[in-house]
């Protein structure tokens, strides 16, 4: 997948027909090692084909899967019982800051003028 993603990014970047060396170079530039077997398979699979047509065909196949929302809750029953809930330790209350800046601005709490 990383090889395919890199191939497509190179195309978007203006290289209409990236080579294996282009893909390998782009991956290594960001510290990722390419898999030569995956790269060979990618180039074998796309040889003589138009990438934009392949993407459109893929979109049609994805439409068959349908979509759906995130689910609506409902009774989980056994699933909820199987999940163990970890209780978080209670946080300690922070001490309140002294009123008036704690002597930071010359007020020592005595209430007098300077």
The dihedrals phi and psi of 74, each to the nearest 5 degrees, come to 80, 175
Which residue range forms the structural domain that includes residue 47?
2-63
The Cα–Cα gap between 7 and 39 comes to 10
CB neighbours of 11 closer than 8 A, spacing ≥ 6?
18, 51
Tens-digit pLDDT profile for residues 33-76: 988 999 999 999 989 988 889 889 888 888 888 776 666 666 55
Query: Has residue 18 been placed in a domain?
Result: yes
The reply to whether 73 falls in a domain is no
Domain count, the chain: 1
**What DSSP state is assigned to residue 36?**
H
Give domain status of residue 14, yes or no.
yes
Residue 37: give its domain's CATH number.
1.10.10.1410
Provide the pLDDT for residue 69. Answer: 65
pLDDT in tens, 5-25: 999 999 999 998 999 999 999
Is 30 within a domain? yes
Q: Is 51 helix (H, G, I), strand (E, B) or coil?
A: helix
Residue 109 scores a pLDDT above 80: no
């Amino acid at each position: 997948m990383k090889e395919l993603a890199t191939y497509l990014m190179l195309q978007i970047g203006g290289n209409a027909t990236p080579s294996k060396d282009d893909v390998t170079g782009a991956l290594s530039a960001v510290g990722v090692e390419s898999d030569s077997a995956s790269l060979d398979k990618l180039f074998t699979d796309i040889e003589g084909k138009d990438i934009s047509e392949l993407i459109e065909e893929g979109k049609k196949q994805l439409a068959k899967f349908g979509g759906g929302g995130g689910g609506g809750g409902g009774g989980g029953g056994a699933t909820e019982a199987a999940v163990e809930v970890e209780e978080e330790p209670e946080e300690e209350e922070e001490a309140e800051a002294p009123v008036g800046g704690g002597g930071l601005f010359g007020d020592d709490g005595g209430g007098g003028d300077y």
